[in-house]
Amino acid sequence: MNNWDNVYPLSKDGGVRWVMPEDAVAILMLTNELIIASGAAFESRLTAKDLLNDLFGADRKSEVIVFEMEGNVVGYLSFSRGYGPWQSISTMMINAVSVSAAYTRKGIGKQLFRFAADIACQRGWRRIELYTDIHYAAAKHFYQKLGFEFSEVAYGKCSARKLSGHA
C-alpha cells in the first residue's frame, strides 16, 4: 500500500503510522471527541463499517495516518488528493485531524502534520489545504503555528493554505 512504514518508526513514546482496520473504533471515538470539542450540536453518524469501507474498500475516499502511543491510537489525520484546476496545483486536502484531549500539547498534531507533509512532497503535491470553523480559536492558532495562512471566510469556515516550500 505504501512505502512509509519505516519513515517514522514507533518508539516507546509512540509515533505515526498508517491506519489499520483495527483502528476504526478508536478513530470513531476521536471523531466524536473532535465534534464535542468544536462545540457542534450533533454527533457523527459514521459507523465502523462505513469507515472501513471508506478507508479500505474498493472506492477509497481518503487516507489516514494515526499516532499510536502505548498501544493506543491517540490521534489521526485524514487526507485526500485535491486539485485546483484554476491554478494547476495538486493539493493535499486535510479532511480531519483529531488528538485525544488527554494527549494534546505533546507535539502529536505537529508530528501528524509533518508526516502528512512528507507524503505530500513525496507524491509531488505542491500545497496542503484545510478548512476549519472560524470560531474554533484553538485549531486556528495551531494551524497558524504550523505555517498555514488563512483566507476565504464563507459559511462559518475559513480556508487555510500552506504553500510549497513550507512543508
> Where residue 71 sits, what CATH number does that domain have?
3.40.630.30
Q: Are 33 and 100 in contact (CB under 8 A)?
A: yes
Domain containing 119 equals 15-126
Number of domains in the chain: 1
Is 159 inside any structural domain? no
pLDDT score at 5: 45
Q: What is the pTM of this model?
A: 0.81
Distance CA 67, CA 107 (A): 11
Distance CA 78, CA 166 (A): 20
Is 121 inside any structural domain? yes
Q: pLDDT tier at 136 (50, 70, 90 boundaries)?
A: confident
Mean pLDDT of the residues in the chain: 80
Q: Extract the runs of DSSP E, i.e. beta strands, from the chain.
A: 15-18, 63-69, 72-84, 89-99, 127-133, 149-154, 157-163
42-70 pLDDT per residue, tens: 777 788 888 888 888 888 889 999 999 98
- Does the pLDDT at position 113 exceed 90? yes
Is 42 inside any structural domain? yes
Is 134 inside any structural domain? no
pLDDT score at 44: 73
Is 10 inside any structural domain? no
131 φ, ψ (degrees, to nearest 5): -125, 145
Is 142 inside any structural domain? no
Query: Among 132, 153, 142, which residue's Cα sits nearest to residue 110?
Result: 142
- Does the pLDDT at position 4 exceed 70? no
